[in-house]
Amino acid sequence: MATLFWVMTCGGALIWAGTVAVLLYAVRRRTLYSEPAASRLIFWAGAVFPAITLILLLGYALWLMPSLRPLAQPGAPTLRIEVTGRQYWWRVIYRQPGTPPVVSANEIRLPVGERVEFTLKSDDVIHSFWIPALGGKMDMIPGRENRLSLRATKPGTFRGPCTEFCGTSHALMAFSAVAMEPAEFRQWLAGQHVPSAGATGTGARLFIRHGCGACHAVAGTEATGMLGPDLSHLGSRETLGAGILPNSQDNIARFIAEPDVIKPGVQMPGFDMLPPDDIEAIASWLKGLK
Amino acid sequence: MSAPAKKLPKADLEAQAERLRAVWANPTGWRYWTTVNNTQIGLWYASTAFAFMLFAGVLALIVRAQLAVPDNDLVSADFYNQAFTLHGTVMMFLFAVPIFEAVAIFLLPPMLGARELPFPRLGAFGFWSFFLGGTFVCGSIFFNAAPSSGWFMYPPLATDKELSGIGADIWLLGLSFIEVASIAAAVELIVGIMKCRAPGMRINLMPLFAWYLLIVAGMILFAFPPLIAGDILFEMQRMFDWPFFDPARGGDPLLWQHLFWIFGHPEVYIIFLPAIALMAMIVPTFSQRPIVGYSWIVLAAVGTGFLSFGLWVHHMFATGLPQISLAFFSAASEAVAIPTAVQIFVFIATMLAGRVIFSTPMLFGTGGIAIFILGGLTGVMVALAPFDWQAHDTYFVVAHLHYVLIGGMLFPVIAGIYYYYPLIDAKHLSDRMGRSAFWLMFVGFNVAFFPMHLAGLRGMPRRVFTYPADVGWDWMNLLSTVGAFVLAFGVLVVVVDILRPKHRQNRGEQNPWNAGTLEWISEPEENWGVRSIPHVESRYPLWDQKNLARDVNDGRFYLPDAEEGRREGLITSVLDGDPMQVLRVGGTSYVAIFSAVSLGAAFIALTFHWWIATAVSAIVCFCAILYWLWTGTAEIPEKPAKDVGLGLTLPLYASGPASVGWWAMFITMVGDSTAFASLVFGYFFYWTIHPDFTAGIAGPGMPWPMTSAVLFLTAWAATFAARQLNARGFVAGMRIVLLLGLMLTLVASAAGFAGPWSHGMDPTAHVYPAIVWVLVIWVLAHAAVGAVMQAYCLARSFAGRLTPVYDMDIRNIALYWHFMAITAAIAFAVIGLFPEAV
């Protein structure tokens, strides 16, 4: 892919410079060219040269395509990640044969060096899934299921923005993709199967009492809502609000009180009518869900 | 025959000119606005489109100001989304396409040596529709009601009433109204270019501008109808909840993307080709020689037009379509670069073979080409699916499309303004201001848009109202904003140059650039286009035909007079330009503006669901159009033929393929059939994406659709028989058969309606009944028009306005009925046979 880009950029720059040079020469020179000579220029530079260049380029690009977007591999892949676009966040479900699925949101972790199959869906409007550092984008279209296979080659955290305009806060819809060493990744995934150690306590009671569980799920509590992001291990995520704020207790409290200010058009209603102490308690509890 | 006639004595000439002037004069006072003269309409049209461009430019500056720094809160997210949606919409629909219809309406008649286009009132109607629809769409932002779902309006975002509000309806209905006007203009331009050229101007002698406009008008005819079909489906979903794009009820959002981009990609070339056409007039003039490679450039333009219809899927590379189709559309998208390169090298070759005078128009032209080439090359990059997966919907594409459109369209348009300004009021624009404007625009443009390539490659998506500070896009965006304001300042200099008073400047000479084409004969002070219609023998008649300008102005060619006080022009044959007929065109009238206003009122009332106001306006519009047709068309002349000068006598009336009305009907119906084909495409699209497309819902059955189809075919046969009977002089027989046809039409419509109705098909339940109903309604609406036409011909026959000799009306409606029969047969075969037969 990088080679294709550099071939096209350098080739394009040369062609541009060459054509503009001929154009400037045509404007400035003093000698007159005969009509047949000028017609030959049209034929060679206008028709033959672009035809040959484009055929070569096209052949090269088509030859690259299968390696960039492999068709379904024989045999089930070991790890499949289902990502569903929502206004304006992402539901992420890790599916592995033989274990129950792990539900998360707005952060995608994947093992370095392994091919991961993504299943891409949407529940409301069209979104588009893209991790620029790992590969091309793929739309998430209601009523359709798209597939994309990606492989991270080195560990790190990459930003992934939504790239199809999806409404008021399209600009505020992103996620982080964290590529981890495979062993570390398996350990992390195993941890996601069990509720967070801090799942019980005062915060949990307030969370349930104020009705947060109608939309959000937290493993190990009565909160099992599916309308909003799963918050079972919120404290361990790097960002908040689908990749737009650093994950801190203050930011969680702010999001609870006035989500619409942070993210215009968000579905979640604001809870600024709650006592500030309750908001702080819930925020601190959520931050503790590692 | 082509030699000019003897010059008349001065007094006779003066009298002739006075009569001609009176016939073509504009009304005065406030009635000035009812004029239909192509010069006025063209200027109003162009000024309105230019004003919309400035408005959309201001929106772009707001967008750039918001993006100047990260996490900015200058405007709200919602206002930003309205601003970028309206920016794209206005630039595409209200500037880029209409400006060329405007320029063509202004320039084509003098360029072809014609007095007028064939349907001046239609031109005025188109302008007023555009003016009203455009003002309505633009004005919405002042009420916080502008569309905010992007200019591409993807469902479900744009079909959901809570997410998109009334803005989406304003977009759909306002623009549908303008699309109708665009198609009207396309019909007028095609017929004008084919039939209204000066005698002797064979098709291979036609100015390149006319060639390009012919191609572009043809493209409009095939590109806009799919969008209109899409708009119908879209508005049915928004207004009546018919689930065309709702996956829960069998619909699919991707159908809209197909229909939109089948329109949307040719649209790019509909914008680009006329700009190249202006260059094809400017470059030969400033090289002081004919174009090198006339056939090359014509073939390349035709090729571009054809190929542009096979590229639409490259806007959908990331939707998950099969790779084999991606490969096909990548290849087709690359191929279009070849004819484009040919056109650019034709200009370079012409400059090489001539002595270039480097004027302001050339500066804008060559600067635009340099920008355009870069946009073309990035286009070659994004046309390849593997690269597009990265670049798609990022600022790389924003940079690409602005390089293509500003280099390939805005710069040539400004070159055209500097070049053609002397034709407007015989004055010059300032060379000094032009050059300053160019450098401001050129530098500002590159500073604004070049960094966007980098921002896109670094992952900045399009259509974001803000971006975080820590991802490395800051300086590029700041630079882009600075550049955008410099570019805007350059445009402002052009505007000041156009608007500054020039009354102190002396009247310039007639052909200041020593150009070779006919439009430079016309005098800005006169409305008649050409004083007499010349005989043309060359591609550059002013260079090759000695004293042509003088002889034309001395009234030594065709139609130098207006003895009967009528606006007259010549109709010539399509290929050879042989004179065939004198065409009398409509003059000043309220009817065009009145029809446009009432139609606009109907569309606007529909937006707000004011049903009664909609119905009233629609009926008023219907009556106005009937009055227009009755009083202004197919008029029986007071004598069969007249002497047009140079010893030539031509008929004053023609019907069938010899008449312009027949061609206009034919071309309109080709566009109409394209919209119908798009709906049928929708039917089969739904079928292919579902294992069982009917979802177990009962169809319209076979008996009713088949009955209806047969009845429609008999109605068609009756109409056709009426035409034949009339031509043979059996007037009474014609009336009886036509009345029979009218009744058959009504019965056939009832049978067509009975199919889905008797099976209780509920269009809101599932996409299958919805698409069946849409096809049936399409046929019924056309049958209603067909019935009105039959009744109209009956009335014309009784009124003595339709006779066996003067039979234009019935020949035109018979032509309509050929298309009607095909439409009905296909529609009922599709809905009646397919679910059963397969």
Give the closest-approach CA distance of A88 to chain B in angstroms: 13
Structure tokens at B420: 């053609």
Q: Is B634 a domain residue?
A: no
Task: Return the closest-CA partner of residue B808 out of B658, B656, B631, B663.
Answer: B656
User: Per the domain annotation, does B495 fall within a domain?
Assistant: yes
What is the CB neighbour count within 10 angstroms for residue A32?
A: 13
d(CA B376, CA B399): 11
Helix (H) or strand (E) holding A138: strand A138-140
pLDDT at residue A31, rounded to an integer: 86
Question: A133: distance to nearest CA of chain B, Å?
Answer: 9
Q: Is B299's Cβ below 8 Å from some Cβ in A?
A: no
- Say how far residue A251 (Cα) sits from the centre of its chain: 22
Distance CA B838, CA B834 (A): 6
Residue that terminates a domain, selected from B499, B531, B566: B499
Are A41 and B149 a contacting pair at CB < 8 A? Answer: no
Provide the pLDDT for residue A73. Answer: 59
The verdict on A159 and A239 lying in the same domain is no
Of B362, B377, B393, the CB nearest to A163: B393
> Running DSSP on this structure, what letter comes out for residue A120?
E
Range of the domain at A8: 2-25+36-68
Average pLDDT, chain B: 95
In angstroms, the separation between the Cα of residue B245 and the nearest Cα of chain A is: 10
pLDDT, tens digit (0-9, with 9 covering 90-100), for B54-104:
999 999 999 999 999 999 999 999 999 999 999 999 999 999 999 999 999
Residue B318 within a domain: yes
Number of cross-chain residue pairs from A and B with Cβ atoms under 8 Å apart? 236
Domain boundary among B455, B479, B499: B499
CB contact under 8 A, A137 and B393: yes
Cα B569–Cα B571–Cα B576 angle in degrees, nearest 5: 135
Structure confidence by residue, pLDDT tens digits, B717-738 = 999 999 999 999 999 999 999 9
What whole-number distance in Å separates Cα of residue B371 and Cα of residue B362?
A: 14
Across the interface, of A61, A128, A130, the residue whose CB is closest to B384 is: A61
| A214 touching B (Cβ < 8 Å) | no
Please tell me whether residues A187 and A206 are part of one structural domain: no
Nearest residue of B to residue A264, measured between CA atoms: B77
Crossing angle between the packed helical segments B97-112 and B38-67, to the nearest 10 degrees: 150
Is residue B234, in this structure, part of any structural domain at all? Answer: yes
pLDDT value at residue B413: 97
pLDDT of B663: 96
For chain B, say whether A265 makes contact (Cβ under 8 Å): yes
Using the 3D structure, point to which of A192, A225, A250 is the last residue of a domain: A192
Tell me, yes or no, if B393 comes closer than 8 A to chain A by beta carbon.
Answer: yes
A-contacting residues in B 351-380 (Cβ below 8 Å):
351-356, 358, 362, 366, 369-370, 373-374, 377-378, 380
A11 plus A113 within the same structural domain: no
Does residue B750 belong to any structural domain of this protein? yes
pLDDT of residue A78: 74
Report the candidate in B647, B779, B352 with the shortest Cα–Cα distance to residue A26.
Answer: B352
149-168 in A: which are within 8 Å (CB) of B? 159, 161-168
Domain assignment present for A121: yes
Cβ-based contacts of A33 with chain B (< 8 Å) = 349, 352-353
pLDDT at A74 over 60: no
End residue of a domain, out of A143, A161, A192: A192
**Hey, of A10, A16, A23, which one would you mutate to test binding to chain B, going by the most B CBs within 10 A of its CB?**
A23
> What does the pLDDT read at residue B2?
67
Residue A31 domain flag: no
Chain A, window 53-112: residues with a beta carbon less than 8 angstroms from a chain B beta carbon: 54, 57-58, 61-62, 64-66, 68-69, 71, 87
Structure tokens at B536: 């043309």
Of A7, A19, A60, which to mutate for an interface test with B (greatest number of B Cβ within 10 Å)?
Answer: A19
| Residue A72 predicted with pLDDT over 80 | no
What's the pLDDT at A168?
Answer: 95
- pLDDT for B21: 95
Summarize pLDDT for B560-582 with one digit per residue, the tens. Answer: 999 999 999 999 999 999 999 99
Final residue of a domain: which of B458, B479, B499?
A: B499
User: Is A47 a domain residue?
Assistant: yes
Read off the pLDDT of residues B398-442 as tens digits, 9 standing for 90 and up. Answer: 999 999 999 999 999 999 999 999 999 889 999 999 999 999 999
Residues from chain A that touch B331, judged by Cβ atoms under 8 A, are 58, 62
Residue A58 shares a structural domain with residue A104: no
CB contact under 8 A, A137 and B389: yes
Query: pLDDT tier at A71 (50, 70, 90 boundaries)?
Result: low
Pair A81, A118: CB distance under 8 Å: yes
Q: Which residue in A54, A119, A150, A159 has the most chain B C-beta atoms within 10 A of its own C-beta, making it the best mutation to test that interface?
A: A54
A41 touches chain B (CB under 8 A): yes
Percent with pLDDT over 70 in chain B: 99
> Per-residue confidence at A30, pLDDT binned at 50, 70, 90?
confident
Q: Does one domain contain both A263 and A184? A: no
A173 and A241 part of one domain:
no
Question: Nearest CA to CA, how far is A150 from chain B (Å)?
Answer: 13
Asked if A223 contacts A213 with a C-beta cutoff of 8 angstroms, the reply is yes
Report pLDDT digits (tens) over B141-168: 999 999 999 999 999 999 998 899 899 9
**Cβ pair B195, B666 in contact under 8 A:** no
Which residue in B has a C-alpha nearest to residue A171's C-alpha? B464
pLDDT band at B798 (very low <50, low <70, confident <90, very high): very high
Q: What pLDDT does residue B470 have?
A: 87
In this predicted model, what pLDDT tens digit does every residue of B466-483 receive, in sequence order?
Answer: 999 988 999 999 999 999
Choosing among A3, A139, A145, which should be mutated to test the B contact, i.e. which has the most B CBs within 10 A?
A139
Q: Which of residues 446-475 of B touch A (CB under 8 A)?
A: 458-459, 461-468, 471
Top residue of A32, A43, A57, A65 to mutate, by most chain B CBs within 10 Å, is A65
The alpha-carbon gap from B152 to the nearest alpha carbon of chain A, in Å, equals: 10
Question: What average pLDDT does chain A have?
Answer: 92
Are A182 and A99 part of one and the same domain?
yes
- The model's confidence at residue A75, banded by pLDDT at 50, 70 and 90, is low
pLDDT band, residue B837 (cuts 50/70/90): low
pLDDT at B704: 96
Residues B315 and B451: beta-carbon distance below 8 Å = no
CATH of the domain at A278: 2.60.40.420
Over residues B211-254, the pLDDT tens digits come to: 999 999 999 999 999 999 999 999 999 999 999 999 999 999 99
Residue B381, chain A, CB below 8 Å: the answer is yes
Q: Render pLDDT for B316-360 as a digit per residue (tens, 0 to 9).
A: 999 999 888 899 999 999 999 999 999 999 999 999 999 999 999
> What CATH code is carried by the domain that includes residue B733?
1.20.120.80
Q: Are residues A95 and A124 in the same domain?
A: yes
Find chain B residues with C-beta within 8 A of A22's C-beta: 348
Nearest to A171 among B157, B377, B467 (CB): B467
Q: Kindly list the distances between the CA atom of residue B36 and the CA atoms of A127, A220, B424, B815, in Å, as whole numbers in the listed order.
A: 48, 77, 17, 28
**Do B252 and A19 lie within an 8 Å CB cutoff?**
no
Residue A30 within any structural domain of the chain? no
DSSP one-letter code for B116: S
Pairing state of beta strands A127-129 and A138-140? antiparallel
Average pLDDT of the residues in A274-282: 95
Residues A126-164: pLDDT tens digits?
A: 999 999 999 889 999 999 999 999 999 999 999 999 999
Output B498 or B507, whichever has higher pLDDT: B498
Structurally, chain A folds into a number of domains equal to 3
Assigned domain for B818 exists: yes
Residues A149 and A173 in one domain: yes
pLDDT at position A194, please? Answer: 92
- Compare CB distances from B464 to A58, A125, A171 and report the shortest one's residue: A171
pLDDT score at A122: 96
Claim to verify: residue A153 and residue A244 sit in the same structural domain = no
CA distance A268 to chain B (A): 15
Tell me the average pLDDT across B300-322: 94
pLDDT at B349: 96
Q: Is B152 exposed, middle or buried (0-12, 13-18, 19+ CB in 10 A)?
A: middle
Q: What is the pLDDT of residue B181?
A: 86
Domain count, chain B: 2
The verdict on A251 touching B (C-beta cutoff 8 Å) is no
Q: For B818-824, what is the mean pLDDT?
A: 98
Residue A205, pLDDT above cutoff 90? yes
CB contact under 8 A, B380 and A54: yes
**Residue A125 is nearest to which of B157, B331, B378, comparing CB atoms?**
B157
User: Residue A3: pLDDT band by 50, 70, 90 thresholds?
Assistant: confident
CB nearest A12 (choices: B356, B366, B381)? B381
Q: Does B331 touch chain A if contact means CB atoms closer than 8 Å?
A: yes
Full domain range(s) for residue B787? 672-837
Q: Which of B77, B320, B343 sits opposite A169 (nearest CB)?
A: B77
Closest-CA residue of A relative to B367 is A20
Residue B221, domain CATH: 1.20.210.10
Q: Does residue A131 belong to any structural domain of this protein?
A: yes
Q: A38 in contact with B at a CB cutoff of 8 Å?
A: yes
Q: Could you give phi then psi for residue B596, rounded to 5 degrees? A: -65, -45
A251 plus A188 within the same structural domain:
no
Residue A197 lies in a domain: no
Burial class (CB in 10 A: 0-12, 13-18, 19+), B29: exposed
What pLDDT does B324 receive?
86
The answer to whether A225 contacts chain B (CB < 8 Å) is no
Residues A219 and A249 in one domain: yes
Interface check for A209 against chain B (CB to CB < 8 A): the answer is: no
Q: Give per-residue pLDDT as tens, B736-762.
A: 999 999 999 999 999 999 999 999 999
pLDDT digits (tens, 9 = 90+) for B674-690: 999 999 999 999 999 98
Residue of A nearest to B160 (CA): A125
